[in-house]
Amino acid sequence: MRKVGIAIIFAAFAGAFSLSAETAAVNNITAPSKDPFTVDTTPIDRASQRASYAPMLSKVTPAVVTVATSSVVKVIRGGSGDPMEELMRRLYGLQTPDDDSQSGSQQNGDKGVQQKRVPNGMGSGVIVSSDGFIVTNNHVVCDSRGEAADEITVTLPDGRDFTAKLIGRDPQTDVAVIKIEAGGLPVIPFADSDTLQVGDLVFAVGSPMGLSQTVTMGIVSAVGRSRLGILGDRGYEDFIQTDAPINPGNSGGALVDASGRLVGINSAILSRTGGNIGIGFAIPSTLARNTATSLISGGKVERGYLGVTIGSLDANLAESFGVKSGHGSLIQNIVPDSPADKAGLKRGDVIVAVDGKPVASENDFRLYIAQRQPGTKVKLSYLREGKSFDADVTLANLSQSALANGGGVEILKGITAQKVTDDLAKKFELDSGDGIVVTAVATDSPFDRVMAVGMQILEINNVQVTGVQQALKLVRKGVANNFWISYRGQTFYVGIRVPND
């Protein structure tokens, strides 16, 4: 939560609000077709006036559910006075409960240590397929550390409870997909949120403050809200702003139009008090649908990568670069050997359209590229020295790019490495410039106990490492791999079993 006089608050009730930059979590489950959702492309009806929206809402509310989560934590049973237990509590964060008989606790075999199921919070979700797929927020299904909750419970409006499976989550858009084992469920069809206009009537449906099946009404106050800091520096913000009252517990619930179609997933509020003051934010349904489709089909979101640093055009820059209007994205830098570099783009080019769609801003362009799959060919229209050009560019994979990993490439889940340079060799006190060096280890990485920042990887599976892209090819999935490592003046082998995706 960031405070600048007023605070951005995720609209989840008594739950965890932090977001993690880890890759999407996934459970093994049979995925449906690539796009399993119902989409209604009928334009919004802006002419009719109604005395009541009850008939429409009676079809919408059965498809909005309550989502509750909990996590398992280890605690030390109090009363023993054992100094070793106190040391464990301080070093490993184990809690000492006031009451050993708390419900949900069970011993895990270690004397004096219990496992306790702790509620994280409560939010909402939207049923989007009759066989049980539900779209919600990433922060709804996370604990306070941004890690996936151990248990997710879904309560339907008819009172039935289900244990849900986490299909996938994407912190960068705050979208998650869960699934319950049920059939014949009511669904809300998706609308094209790109057609929304300021002043359109919308309804927020969810479970604010633990109250199920609450409906509020308002209008679209703004579209395309970005740079709010809700999703961090790497997030993709394109929020719908609405004055339809949204409160804690509404997160993951539906924002629907006057026809009962899904135009957004409620996500956050701007508030001085923690309650609604008329400024709420929802993820556009088109962005939510694209993300959810990727999560269902592959368990994670793969994003397109162009390899440029872009900026906005003010009036002076537009004039200096020969652009008649301020629309477009100015290329500030080109990543060497990136798709943009290979296509002949240069610093100072102004991208004015992509696939024939005008580029209104840098955020607009970034979001469009990120929603394309790696390997997709896009047509860029750009201006150079006042002349118009077109270029066909095949996008790479953002998750494997240097830009996505702060200058490195993720060679294993949560393990980022770079080719050794003179600066890195000096920084990590390496004996040679061979191989690659680990520059970042994510706290949630399954390999964080065997890999550390500063480790120099010289060989993988007995083959000398010359670069990060080669290292990616040398790692074998589904079997054990051997890494020849140099670290703090010593060289040794590390064995790592890499699971299949």
Determine which one of 129, 251, 267, 271 is catalytic. 251
Is 131 an annotated catalytic residue?
Answer: no
If one counts every other C-beta atom within 10 angstroms of the C-beta of residue 268, the result is 26
Q: Give the pLDDT score at 36.
A: 74
Check residue 355 and give left, alpha or beta (phi > 0: left; psi -120 to 50: alpha): left
Cα gap 281→126, rounded to integer Å: 16
Average confidence (pLDDT) per 10 residues, the chain, 501 residues: 50 46 39 68 74 91 93 61 53 49 49 66 92 94 82 93 93 93 94 92 90 90 87 83 91 94 93 81 94 89 87 81 77 85 91 90 87 92 90 86 63 89 83 88 77 91 92 91 90 88 64
Q: Give the pLDDT score at 1.
A: 33
Is 139 an annotated catalytic residue?
Answer: yes
CA distances for 425 relative to 431, 441, 450, 452, angstroms: 7, 18, 21, 15
Q: Give the pLDDT score at 453.
A: 85
Cα gap 268→247, rounded to integer Å: 8
Q: Give the pLDDT score at 118.
A: 75
Is 434 an annotated catalytic residue?
Answer: no
- Token duo for residue 326: 């301020």
Q: Give the pLDDT score at 276.
A: 77
The gap between the terminal CA atoms of the chain, to the nearest Å, is 33
Cα gap 166→50, rounded to integer Å: 39
Q: What are phi and psi of 119, to 5 degrees?
A: -65, 140
CA distances for 112 relative to 284, 459, 470, angstroms: 49, 44, 48
Domains and CATH numbers, the chain: 3-37+58-64+125-148+156-297 (2.40.10.120), 68-122 (no CATH), 305-399 (2.30.42.10), 406-497 (2.30.42.10)
Q: Give the pLDDT score at 75.
A: 59
Q: Give the pLDDT score at 465.
A: 94
Determine which one of 139, 259, 329, 434 is catalytic. 139
What pTM does this model have? 0.69
Q: Give the pLDDT score at 65.
A: 95
Q: Are 75 and 95 in contact (CB under 8 A)?
A: yes
Determine which one of 170, 174, 238, 364 is catalytic. 174
Q: Are 8 and 246 in contact (CB under 8 A)?
A: no
Q: Give the pLDDT score at 436.
A: 93
Q: Give the pLDDT score at 406.
A: 53
Q: Give the pLDDT score at 115.
A: 65
- Burial code of 240-263, b = ≥16 C-beta within 10 A, e = fewer? bbbbbbbbbbbbbbbbbbbbbbbb
Among 155, 156, 257, smallest CA distance to 204 is for 257
